[in-house]
Chains A and B, each alone.
Chain A
Amino acid sequence: MSNTILEIDNLETHYGKIHALRGISFTVREGQIVALLGANGAGKSTTLRAISGLIRSTSGAIRYMGDDITRTPAHDIVKKGLIHVPEGRKIFKGMTITENLELGSFTLEDDAERKRRMDHVFEIFPILYERRTRDSAFLSGGEQQMLAMGRSMMTNPKLLLLDEPSMGLAPFLVQQIMKIVLRLNKEGVTILLVEQNAKVALKLADHGYVLETGEIVIRGDAKTLQQDESIVKAYLGE
């Protein structure tokens, strides 16, 4: 069995008086795709935001490749190869595609390496190359998602946290994005995937966790979860 890359231990967070995460624990192993499922407001995005350091957890621990990163600032976590592609993509509208990608490699000092990574991104997303000098505000939803993923790849991630990459996209675009997730995984990137679209997510994933009001209620390997009638009913919307 491969090594544990991420370990969440009894993590709790609060937004003011709202108890958003009520002590969740789970692990992600190197090379896996792990799906974090659940309805709106279950705490999926909060979990990712706590891992990447955007919000401070109130108790519990986050360990990444053996280091405790619970109190590490977000910009230092990035340097360790843990990259979060946030909900809503958060690309830099008003800046060109190339500029967005360059900012993705902010921590990198080697210009030749920056160029090499950008070529790699353009190879995976040819559409971004075609529009490289355009303002990213004028991209379609799918293209924005591609840019957000491309930007995260500029950091050369080891672990990628993807928050609802399929949100608002047409089915054929969802397929395309998921193909890219698989490709990244094959290239050696471990992936923690947050999805409302459980069906799509479980098809890719090795493991799945279902969150409900800040707690993990179901865990198991993806195949079992897919076949479990009650889960399909409760979380796959069918």
Chain B
Amino acid sequence: MSIQDILLQQLANGLILGSFYALVALGYTMVYGIIKLLNFAHGDLYMLGSFVGFIILSFLSDYIGSGWAGILCTMVLSMIVVGFLGVLIQRIAYVPMLSAPRLSILITALAVSMVLYNTVMAFTDGQYLAFKTDLGFEGVELGNVFVTYTQLTLVGASISLMVVLQLFVHKTLYGKAMRAIAIDQDACRLMGINVNKIIALTFFIGTSLAAAAGIMAGTYYGSIHFFMGFVIGLKAFTAAVIGGIGSIPGAMLGGLLLGLLESFGTQIPFIGTEWKDVFSFGILILLLVFKPTGILGKTEIERM
């Protein structure tokens, strides 16, 4: 393989990895933006997404198979189911803690995370489950690099989800209300906005994006596991910080950037794949030192 082929291969890998990171980072950043909570359970909702998808797909595959139609229906249904689970978690665990000190709600989020992955572990005996799909192995050749249609579709689907989200947040009144809540909740109340409803909506959207990423990951890697949310939770958090936490385009950019950096990072001489996590978290540390607000993070503008 020539150097160009290697770079092209890593570009493809990086984009796929990056789009998973970006989808999960979006939920992190949206929730942080409105209630200043680092939802540590967010990675587990990604994991839950893949398991709910697994269950739904095993029902659906008897009727419509586990090809493109099956995966698409599974994805839509799981996004809805897990989205509501996210809202339920918010209602039960986070709403009562909103007026408590910041640390309490953070610890609650850690507890939610443990409850989620331990529950799934209990049901699966800690085993890997095979996420069986029937998507075929056709693809296109770009030079010596082979990219499957599945891979292309995954990247395309994540980008479409991000575009839809961006349109929602900027073009609809509910989307604008979500941004406004991040700025000033009291002012939103005085505009007749039901703040709790918009917060629930934010959880719904953030969680369903994580669920979508979970199913994509199941499809891509072919197996799922109760602890799969842990590392991606940390990575998505890193991505959100790189982009500037609280910023939606920042999370997308941060996710893709982190994915690309990781896959290109493994090509640096003497740094193998086993170093890829060190590479990502090293970037996080450097960023926190030199630009703590992230790439698109804003410093507050105050003017009288």
CB neighbours (8 Å) of B186 from chain A are: 54, 86, 90
Is the Cβ of A103 less than 8 Å from the Cβ of B176?
Answer: yes
- A78-B191 contact given A94-B183, A106-B173, CB 8 Å threshold: yes
- A54-B192 contact given A93-B301, A94-B183, A102-B176, CB 8 Å threshold: no
CB neighbours (8 Å) of A74 from chain B are: 189-190
Is the Cβ of A90 less than 8 Å from the Cβ of B193?
Answer: no
- A103-B304 contact given A75-B189, A86-B190, CB 8 Å threshold: no
Residue among B187, B194, B304 with most chain A CB within 10 A: B187
CB neighbours (8 Å) of A85 from chain B are: 190
Interface string of A76-94 (1 = CB under 8 A from B): 1011000111100011111
Is the Cβ of B184 less than 8 Å from the Cβ of A103?
Answer: no
Complex-state Cα separation, A90 to B190, whole angstroms: 10
Shortest Cβ gap from B161 to chain A (Å)? 23
CB neighbours (8 Å) of A133 from chain B are: none
- A106-B187 contact given A95-B176, A137-B303, A138-B303, CB 8 Å threshold: no
Shortest Cβ gap from B74 to chain A (Å)? 34
Complex-state Cα separation, A168 to B179, whole angstroms: 27
CB neighbours (8 Å) of B191 from chain A are: 75, 78, 103-104, 106-107, 151, 155
A53 in the interface, Cβ–Cβ < 8 Å? yes
A23 in the interface, Cβ–Cβ < 8 Å? no
CB neighbours (8 Å) of A84 from chain B are: 190
Is the Cβ of A93 less than 8 Å from the Cβ of B183?
Answer: yes
Please, which residue of chain A has its CB at the minimum distance from the CB of B179? Answer: A95
- A102-B173 contact given A75-B195, A79-B192, A155-B192, CB 8 Å threshold: yes
Shortest Cβ gap from B185 to chain A (Å)? 10
Please, which residue of chain B has its CB at the minimum distance from the CB of A89? Answer: B187
Shortest Cβ gap from A39 to chain B (Å)? 21
CB neighbours (8 Å) of B180 from chain A are: 92, 95, 103
- A141-B301 contact given A52-B190, A103-B180, A103-B193, CB 8 Å threshold: no
Please, which residue of chain B has its CB at the minimum distance from the CB of A167? Answer: B304
A9 in the interface, Cβ–Cβ < 8 Å? no
Is the Cβ of A83 less than 8 Å from the Cβ of B190?
Answer: yes
B177 in the interface, Cβ–Cβ < 8 Å? yes
Complex-state Cα separation, A137 to B299, whole angstroms: 12
Is the Cβ of B187 less than 8 Å from the Cβ of A75?
Answer: no
- Classify chain A: how many residues form its interface, as a range: 20 to 34
Complex-state Cα separation, A139 to B302, whole angstroms: 11
Given B177, B195, B301, which contacts A103 in the complex, CB threshold below 8 Å? B177
B291 in the interface, Cβ–Cβ < 8 Å? no
B298 in the interface, Cβ–Cβ < 8 Å? yes
Is the Cβ of A107 less than 8 Å from the Cβ of B176?
Answer: no
- A91-B298 contact given A99-B176, A102-B173, A106-B173, CB 8 Å threshold: no
Interface residues of B in 12-26 (CB under 8 A from A): none
CB neighbours (8 Å) of A75 from chain B are: 189, 191-195
Is the Cβ of B301 less than 8 Å from the Cβ of A137?
Answer: yes
Complex-state Cα separation, A138 to B303, whole angstroms: 8
Please, which residue of chain B has its CB at the minimum distance from the CB of A140? Answer: B303
Please, which residue of chain B has its CB at the minimum distance from the CB of A80? Answer: B192
Please, which residue of chain B has its CB at the minimum distance from the CB of A100? Answer: B180
Interface string of A59-83 (1 = CB under 8 A from B): 0000000000000011110110001
Interface residues of B in 187-241 (CB under 8 A from A): 187-195
Is the Cβ of B189 less than 8 Å from the Cβ of A92?
Answer: no
Shortest Cβ gap from B59 to chain A (Å)? 38
Complex-state Cα separation, A90 to B188, whole angstroms: 9
CB neighbours (8 Å) of A168 from chain B are: 304
Residue among B189, B192, B298 with most chain A CB within 10 A: B192
Residue among B176, B187, B190, B194 with most chain A CB within 10 A: B190
Interface residues of A in 19-63 (CB under 8 A from B): 52-54
CB neighbours (8 Å) of B304 from chain A are: 141, 168
Please report B residues at the A interface, Cβ cutoff 8 Å.
173, 176-177, 179-180, 183-184, 186-195, 298, 301, 303-304
A and B contact pairs by CB, cutoff 8 A, 23 listed: A53-B189, A73-B189, A75-B194, A75-B195, A78-B191, A79-B192, A83-B190, A86-B187, A90-B186, A90-B190, A93-B183, A94-B183, A94-B298, A94-B301, A95-B176, A95-B179, A95-B180, A95-B183, A103-B180, A106-B177, A107-B191, A137-B301, A168-B304
Shortest 4 CB-CB contacts between residues of A and residues of B? A78-B192, A90-B187, A74-B189, A107-B192
Please give 6 more A-B residue pairs, beta carbons under 8 A apart, in addition to A90-B186, A92-B184, A168-B304. A53-B189, A54-B186, A76-B192, A90-B184, A94-B183, A138-B301
